[in-house]
Structure 1
Amino acid sequence: MTAPTRAYRWRTTIPAPEGVAETALEHVELKIAETGIGAEGVVIGGVGSAAHGLRWRITVDPDWTAVRSLHLTRLGGPTVALRHDGYGEWSDGEGRRRGEFAGLSDCLVEGSPFGLTALLKRLGAKANKTQTVEVVAVTVPGFELSRAAVTLQPIEAGRRLRLTRDGHTEEIELDADGVVIDWGGHTRRLALEPAA
């Protein structure tokens, strides 16, 4: 039996003071199977020297309990690979332990809505109360890795929330499956089905 696949696409537009908006387009293919959940995405974004293209792959436990692996490649640039043992320990692509991330279950890739979806799915009903969660955060396009605290505050249970990181707060709208529709007014999901 073939695992169900869903496709999502988001456009990000961030106005710039100089009048040249920064734009990005992300396309994600999500496959849900009894053995696990896999998502692959491509991103094209940035302007000038920050222009970049990247591809990524994330795998998650079948019941969304933890991100199991993250693999990011910037076209023409570096690669980042992380693996999670399911018990709170992380290692890099060469098997070296990453103790600074011990105890974490989630990853957020800057600018990508899928990591937030995985986090909310893991939290389940607990996502309907205000809480702070630590995650492995990855910057784009620099691929710096850090341990970061993210505060989630529900506005409308399961549909709207506030996300605060590094003192910056944004409102996020979700669909009934917990997938991002709108992130801070600058990232919006695009319809992939033709209009009727």
Structure 2
Amino acid sequence: MRLPLRAGMSVGLLGGSFDPTHQGHVHLTRMALTRFALDRVVWLVSPGNPLKSRGPASLEDRMDRAKALMKDPRVLISDYESRIGTRYTAETLSSLQTSFAGVRFVWLMGADNLHQFHRWDRWQQIFQSVPIGVLARPGWRQSALHSRAARQFRQYRLSGRASHLLAQMPPPAWCFVNMPMVPVSSTDIRKQGAWRS
């Protein structure tokens, strides 16, 4: 399915294994739509995370659960990375920007991902290619804001009060926003045995 995106839209991209999707993903997405003034958010359900040794549940199961849980019509659930054969965010962004010229993409992530962002393949290229919206996660604020990536790109940080301008900013640009927390994670759900392996 081709993503129904058009030039002029501000579109957030939330990538991950979604293994499984939970209310934290839903809450983060709704906050991102509001705080970053986005028209759409695309959940990029990945074939697998190169930084994790254990493979996720089947892509079909993860897509089905995501669609069942995220009912907002502004949110699109996509297996784009599987269809184009990418595993790395830098490649995915390059493909999306080529395929959807004129769409203003914003990469979305939780603070826990900013903390270890320097481990991502071509992470500096990602910062240079799209604005990045970072949303608070329980227990990660300080380590994220003192991370290698945050320090290296500190002069490009937009204040939380100006978060609605992020999609209009030329990269590199990033913004950290606080939000009410939902204390749930995919890792905890899998540990509790509440999700198929």
TM-score normalized by structure 1? 0.31
Report 1 or 2 for greater relative contact order, CA contacts < 8 Å, sequence distance ≥ 6: 2
Q: Which has the higher strand share?
A: 1
Q: Which has the higher helix share?
A: 2
Higher radius of gyration, 1 or 2: 1
